[in-house]
């Protein structure tokens, strides 16, 4: 009897603890547009575009036609897929030898998209699990060659509840790709041009789309703390949507950079306070805390740019350890930025505060333990 009781209660507790790690998936429609695009020629271009229009009209009209318009000179009117100017530009673009060389690299590097597809299906499954009342539908995803103009972006889908996602695979050919050297990309920029970063790019863009009003409110002409809090929430969101990805990849740092940040969190915070940066709205003073760059002025050479993402994440992690709220509540709440740092205590050699976001689970575990203790007491009395 004791064994049965223990097994049942242990199973409940284990279920509570693993609740947030369950594999919630959705079926995503992923269209590899670059393969169709680079198959066009003079004889099949009209037929191909008609086929594309039937299969993926929202991408063509909402994303690709405007993209091609950017390469057309002296046009005063929007193009359409049946426009001769559009078709001519399309043919030039698809048959340009240098671009075909890039496509060959895309085709080789992304011959198997399964791992990325699985990550995204899990991520969006978790999104619709954590946000059951979301006003958005499951997005369609289209990969394409962007001419090194776009990494990931959203665009209007078939209706007001749908926003689809486009991924420029030419942005993720690997940090050592010859094309980035030709384009003059700096080493710190090339680091992010790896295919492993696609899922975190996608979920960050999805977050910005879902919370566009807050993005505009908190990330423009605001102080450093406000921006770090917003970024911390964003990275916590990404962390929850991609549970199987290493945290340093989700935050966009190398292992070495993450180790340095962990060992210097208190030092970074002290520097921010000493230099009166926390409430400064002068972005020239803290730009590299938020944006990409070769270094962070005033900090050691090992300090990576964008470290505001890390500090913001740590602040939110610390806040969640002390306040049991749901992820929806975290993202919807418009608390003053100062509220999040009231009990923030940065430390060096930090073992990365991994927030336990189990608002109801903590309660369940406590109740379960109380029940277990009560049953054991009752059992002892019966045995006597």
Res 354: pLDDT: 52
Number of folded domains that form the chain: 2
Determine how many CB atoms are found less than 10 A away from the CB of residue 47: 10
Is 359 within a domain? no
Q: d(Cα 358, Cα 327) in Å, to the nearest integer?
A: 10
Same domain, 149 and 237: no
Is 148 within a domain? yes
Q: d(Cα 370, Cα 374) in Å, to the nearest integer?
A: 6
β-strands 141-144, 163-168: how paired?
parallel
| Total count of residues recorded for the chain | 384
What are the tokens at 142?
């289209």
Task: Enumerate residues 6+ apart whose C-beta is below 8 A from 351.
Answer: 262
- Per-10-residue mean pLDDT of the chain, 384 residues long, equals 47 47 84 96 92 89 86 72 86 94 98 97 98 95 96 94 97 97 95 98 98 95 97 98 98 98 97 98 96 95 98 97 94 94 87 48 51 62 61
Same domain, 204 and 227: no
Res 22: pLDDT: 63
Same domain, 196 and 222: no
Q: What's the domain range around 163?
A: 30-210
Q: d(Cα 351, Cα 84) in Å, to the nearest integer?
A: 60
Same domain, 188 and 49: yes
Res 348: pLDDT: 85
Please, is 194 exposed, middle or buried when counting C-beta atoms within 10 Å of its C-beta (0-12, 13-18, 19+)?
middle
What are the tokens at 217?
């409110």
Same domain, 146 and 267: no
CB of 265 closer than 8 Å to CB of 218: no
Same domain, 197 and 254: no
Determine how many CB atoms are found less than 10 A away from the CB of residue 192: 19
How is residue 25 annotated by DSSP?
-
DSSP letters for 282-348: -HHHHHHHHS--S--TTS-TTPPTTHHHHHHHHHHHHHHHH----HHHHHH----GGGGGTT----S
Q: What angle do CA 117, 120, 123 make, to 5 degrees?
A: 150
CB of 311 closer than 8 Å to CB of 278: no
Is 346 within a domain? no
Q: d(Cα 184, Cα 180) in Å, to the nearest integer?
A: 6
Res 358: pLDDT: 42
Same domain, 252 and 327: yes
Same domain, 190 and 70: yes
Is 381 within a domain? no
CB of 36 closer than 8 Å to CB of 147: no
Res 10: pLDDT: 44
Q: d(Cα 340, Cα 351) in Å, to the nearest integer?
A: 20
Same domain, 222 and 198: no
């Amino acid at each position: 009897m004791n064994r049965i009781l223990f097994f049942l209660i242990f199973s409940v507790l284990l279920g509570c603890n693993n609740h947030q790690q369950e594999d919630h998936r959705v079926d995503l429609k992923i269209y590899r547009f670059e393969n169709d695009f680079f198959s066009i020629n003079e004889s099949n271009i009209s037929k191909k575009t008609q086929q594309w229009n039937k299969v993926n009209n929202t991408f063509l009209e909402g994303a690709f036609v405007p993209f091609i318009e950017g390469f057309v000179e002296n046009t005063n009117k929007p193009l359409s897929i049946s426009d001769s100017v559009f078709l001519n530009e399309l043919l030039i673009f698809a048959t340009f030898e240098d671009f075909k060389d890039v496509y060959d690299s895309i085709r080789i590097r992304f011959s198997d998209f399964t791992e990325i597809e699985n990550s995204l299906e899990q991520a969006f499954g978790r999104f619709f699990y954590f946000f059951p009342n979301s006003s958005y539908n499951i997005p369609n995803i289209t990969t394409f060659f962007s001419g090194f103009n776009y990494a990931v972006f959203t665009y209007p889908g078939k209706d007001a509840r749908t926003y689809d996602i486009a991924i420029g695979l030419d942005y993720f050919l690997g940090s050592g790709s010859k094309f980035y050297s030709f384009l003059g990309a700096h080493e710190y920029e090339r680091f992010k041009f790896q295919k492993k970063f696609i899922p975190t790019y996608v979920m960050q863009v999805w977050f910005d789309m879902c919370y566009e009003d807050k993005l505009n409110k908190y990330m423009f002409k605001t102080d450093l703390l406000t921006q770090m809090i917003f970024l911390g929430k964003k990275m916590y969101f990404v962390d929850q949507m991609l549970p199987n990805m290493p945290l340093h990849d989700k935050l966009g740092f190398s292992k070495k950079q993450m180790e340095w940040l962990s060992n210097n969190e208190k030092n970074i915070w002290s520097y921010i306070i000493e230099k009166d940066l926390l409430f400064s709205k002068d972005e020239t003073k803290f730009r590299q805390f938020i944006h990409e760059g070769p270094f962070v002025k005033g900090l050691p050479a090992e300090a990576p740019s964008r470290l505001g993402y890390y500090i913001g994440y740590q602040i939110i992690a610390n806040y969640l350890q002390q306040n049991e709220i749901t992820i929806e509540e975290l993202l919807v709440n418009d608390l003053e930025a100062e509220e999040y740092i009231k009990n923030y205590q940065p430390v060096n050699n930090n073992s990365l505060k991994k927030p336990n976001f189990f608002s109801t689970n903590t309660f369940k575990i406590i109740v379960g333990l109380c029940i277990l203790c009560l049953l054991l007491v009752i059992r002892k009395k019966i045995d006597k």
